[in-house]
Structure 1
Amino acid sequence: ETQTILTIHSHVITKNRRIGVTHSDPRTWNLHIRDVQEADRGWYMCQINTDPMKSQAGFLNVVVPPDILDHPTSTDMVVREGSTVALTCAASGSPNPSIVWRREAGEAIVLNDGTQAMTYEGAVLNISRVNRLHMGAYLCIASNGVPPSVSKRIVLIVHFPPMISVPNQLVGAREGQQLSLECHSEAYPKSINYWTRDRGQMIFHGANFEPEMLDKAYRVIMKLNIRAIHPSDFGVYICVAKNALGVTDGSIKVYKITDDNSIRISERNEDLMDADADQNTLYGGHKPSRQNARDSGSTDGVNSSGHRRYLKDIIFWSLLLSVVYV
């Protein structure tokens, strides 16, 4: 390696102004380096020109705290759902920094093999088939044992068309009753959300109707509060979500509950019970059971029991729908 003379006796030879030398007593010389830089790392030798010549060498190791490089480190990203993303973090420092990823909100990172981890180590975080659950801020943290550690915040934004789910599509109410209808929508960019009637009339905030939107990230809970149900309020209500990528809707039917409805359903339930009692008589007061069928080696008991339940379910729902649409 190339050797450079820095000082001779008490004189500085190099043009590097950060280098100095002191001679405190006849046997001691001290080499001083101000504002130590990474380039100062290496071997230093002091030499005594005696016969024979004597020397002593020492290695100066310079440690440097980590620093995240603007390039090729990723910036905030906007992608479509289903895309593949590579988040990159580059850092300098000595020793070489290690890179750890974590999500700012404390959620788990979903890896390509389907597993989840709270942290991921590596300069590149690959995410295949990105979905809305990947959306959020990711922290790239660089550390090498020399404080302080540094981090960079990278926001991943996922665009997708609206989707609506309706918890209850059929709602019964009495005249004068207070009612709240609810739809759940997901979309990004954030959607425009509103309610309409089945003939397309948009519902605005008024004396009897109060639309309400509860936002949480890309999710919206759409509520339509009806203060008092009037006869004209029965029918179909449609919740709509729209953004630049698409539009979707869901529907809720509000039907009228009357005392006649309750009586009809009660009567139909009694009819079902009577039919069940007739079957008991047919079998001499003993219903075939699953256990009996297994013991006898026959499936007649199982089939007849399942058939009765199937017929009862059909009759019940048919009667319920007939009441709803009367």
Structure 2
Amino acid sequence: MKTKSSRSHSLASALSSAGTIALVVILMSPQCQLQRVEVPAEVIVDPKFSSPIVNMTAPVGRDAFLTCVVQDLGPYKVAWLRVDTQTILTIQNHVITKNQRIGIANSEHKTWTMRIRDIKESDKGWYMCQINTDPMKSQMGYLDVVVPPDILDYPTSTDMVVREGSNVTLKCAATGSPEPTITWRRESGVPIELASGEEVPSVEGTDLIIPNVKRQHMGAYLCIASNGVPPSVSKRITLVVHFPPMITVQNQLIGAVEGKGVTLECESEAYPKSINYWTRERGEIVPPGGKYSSNVTEIGNYRNSMRLHINPLSQSEFGAYRCVAKNSLGDTDGTIKLYRIPPNAVNYVENFEARHKGKKRTKSSESHHPARAQEHSGEDMENPGKRKADLSLSAESIDSMYGSSAARTWRQDLDGLLPLLLATAMAVGTMRMQSTQMTRLPQTLTHV
């Protein structure tokens, strides 16, 4: 007679040989009768990956997530590894690495997500999700860490002071991932002049080369680094150009009426900024106060306007004045001659200008009447002495207005100007005749 244990063994062997695994439960009833319950077990399926790992790009300092989805995992385990170092990071829900920035989470025993907090540039690389089957199954994903640009203190240039005419190279170095591009601009928005003379709004490259630097190159330059990862950064580099003073005088000869006021003006350019003052022709400094008042107005980074106002003028104030500019690199000056004009000369000039303007208006109106224009031009050609007489002034009138010495100067000037004025008048008359003939020519041809 077979025992209970031998019966159970035989049943299990039979089920096993049939390819079915069953759980046999032996229950003891109160009447000591044996009962058997068969419960089918879950069928084990070979695990596989549901989808590939999505590559991720994240800026430095943020958190990165890599997800591995497994179907039908069963009793197998999932692990995350760093490929380049062959370091095991996690197995199932346990973190193996000592890196405290690594974490693991799973959902429904299917989705395994590895989290890397506060990522660094060194975290960039390939990561592997592995299932410990035989043979092993795995897939990989890439983590790209981008870094905003940062301008290095060295070898980036600092503020520079150079002499005018020297060669200048401004340097800018930056780090970042991807590698940043460098753009140069002037802070004021003024174009940058290249060595070829071409002016451009910006220049790309780590070096900005300015040969034979000029004072116009002086100012602030911006080195801008960008790589598509915000924010872009910039550094301000100031270029200072030193040069000795230069004086510009617009009016070197100024006439004024005694008893009135007059203003003398010069423009100076210098850097470092110059000391500006006025002197008389013998070198004595013009004292401020009283009838003299002077001021210096800055009209640019290195340009100044110098003004000297004298009011009222007396005989002693007429003569030469010098505007002087000095700095550590040198000094220079400009001369203005102030001469006396008689009061009646001012009235004569005003009357002469009024007459001259009236003649201009007459000529403008004649342009609409070719016949009248021809008549006047014919008179000029027949009697050129008449035009010359109109342009001349009598010696008595000049003597009465300016005195004998001034009259001689005025007569010399007029004697030199009269031939030129006469030739101009005759040329204008000839041009008018030609213009009139050309205007009438089509009418003659029409009648033919």
* TM-score normalized by the length of structure 1: 0.80
Matched, 1:187 2:288: no
Residue matched to 1:293? none
Give the partner amino acid of 1:174: V
* Structure 1 moving runs of 4+ over 4 Å: 259-265, 283-287, 311-314
TM-aligned CA distance change 1:12 to 1:313, over 3 Å: farther
Q: Does 1:230 align with 2:314?
A: yes
How many residue pairs match? The answer is 280
User: CA shift at 1:13, angstroms?
Assistant: 2.2
Query: Within 5 Å, which residues of 2 pair with 1:1-326?
Result: 1-215=84-298, 216-258=300-342, 285=383, 315-316=416-417
Q: CA deviation at 1:23?
A: 3.0
**Structure 1 residue 29, shift from structure 2 partner:** 1.8
Instruction: Read off the aligned partner of 1:67 and give its amino acid letter.
Output: D
Question: Which whole-Å CA distance do the structure 2 matches of 1:206 and 1:259 have between them?
Answer: 27
Deviation of the 1:125 alpha carbon: 0.6
SS at match of 2:316: helix
More displaced 10-residue stretch of structure 1: 142-151 or 254-263? 254-263
Shift in alpha-carbon separation, 1:72–1:16, aligned structure 2, 3 A: same
Q: Give the Cα separation in 2 of the matches to 1:99 and 1:13.
A: 43
Give me the CA root mean square deviation: 2.5
How far apart, in 2, do the equivalents of 1:313 and 1:77 lie? 57
CA distance in 2: counterparts of 1:258 and 1:316, whole angstroms: 22
In the alignment, is the contact (CA less than 8 A) between 2:257 and 2:343 conserved in 1? no
For 1:178, the aligned partner's letter is G
Post-superposition offset of 1:312: 7.2
3-state DSSP of counterpart to 1:64: strand
**As a proportion of its length, which structure holds more helix?**
2
> Once the 2 structures are TM-superposed, how far is the Cα of residue 163 of structure 1 from its aligned partner?
0.4
**Whole-Å separation in 1 of the counterparts to 2:316 and 2:217:** 45
The structure whose Rg is larger is 2
TM-score (norm 2): 0.59
The 1:316/1:251 distance shift into structure 2, 3 A limit, reads: farther
Give CA-to-partner distance per residue, 1:60-80, whole Å, 9 cap, x none: 011111111111111100000
**SS at 1:176's partner residue?**
coil
Identity %: 59
Q: Which amino acid aligns with 2:416?
A: I
- Whether the 8 Å contact between 1:195 and 1:237 is mirrored in structure 2 is yes
Aligned counterparts of 1:263 and 1:34: Cα–Cα separation in 2 = 91
Amino acid at match of 1:97: P
Shift of 1:286: 6.7
Give the Å deviation of 1:259: 5.2
Q: How many angstroms does 1:315 deviate by?
A: 2.8
Q: 1:252 Cα shift?
A: 0.2
The alpha carbon displacement at 1:262 in A equals 7.1
Counterpart code for 1:235: G
Give the drift of 1:16: 1.5
Residue pair 1:204, 1:211 contacting (<8 A) in 2 also: no
Following TM superposition, by how much is the alpha carbon of 1:25 offset from its aligned partner in structure 2, in angstroms?
A: 2.9
